[in-house]
Structure 1
Amino acid sequence: MIRLRLYTTLGCHLCEQFEALLFHLANEAPVLDRVEISEDDALVERYGVRIPVLADAAGEELDRGFEAPRLAAWLAARGWLDEAAWQQLQRELGGEPPRPARGAVIRGGRRYLG
């Protein structure tokens, strides 16, 4: 089971995007303990400009996890990355050129059937 702590606050659109990305890239659905930072001045001081921040059971933190490569690397280091989902996301984000269909050729970003 993947159990993580997520430092967040209400209305944080980056936190919402991050959670969607986390659930997409993790090789099993993580259990999130959400910590609302606005209720504690010390947490606001520590995490206010860094949220969303994810912490594992050992207390190792990841901030700016909404950047897909950072989150993928963090998950991979713990054995929690769904490699197929990560490869698909990289293709969608343009990190890898699309594969042409059999008999097709890609020139200048356009696909031509052979």
Structure 2
Amino acid sequence: MLELLSTEGCHLCDLAIDVLSACPEVQDFEVDWVEIAYDDTLMQTYAERIPVLRHPASGQELGWPFDCDQLQKFLRSIAAG
């Protein structure tokens, strides 16, 4: 599972979603959209960094901006464990 840390109305988050949709490797993962606005800790940590793709099990993060190649490398690093 991956989490896309985001907030409503974030145009950069919309761009990140486009990249996620364009990379076929993402289909191997469930991606949950996490609204940071309702969690004070997430807001403090990510408000100026979103969108951030996070792998909760390992704590690895991929911050914006990223393209499909960078996303693929991130996913391979997760798979390699």
How high is the TM-score relative to the length of structure 1?
Answer: 0.57
Which residue pairs with 2:9 in the alignment? 11
Instruction: Tell me the number of residue pairs that the alignment of Structure 1 and Structure 2 aligns.
Output: 76
How large is the Cα RMSD of the aligned pairs?
1.8
Larger Rg: 1
Where in structure 2 are there 5+ consecutive unaligned residues? Answer: none
> Identity of paired residues, percent?
37
Which stretches of structure 1, 4 residues or more, deviate above 3 A after TM superposition? none
Offset of 1:28 from its aligned partner?
Answer: 4.6
1:21 aligned to 2:19?
yes
How high is the TM-score relative to the length of structure 2?
Answer: 0.76
CA contact (8 A) 1:10 1:36 kept: yes
The one of the two structures with greater contact order (alpha-carbon pairs below 8 A, sep at least 6) is: 2
- Per residue, is there more helix in 1 or in 2? 2
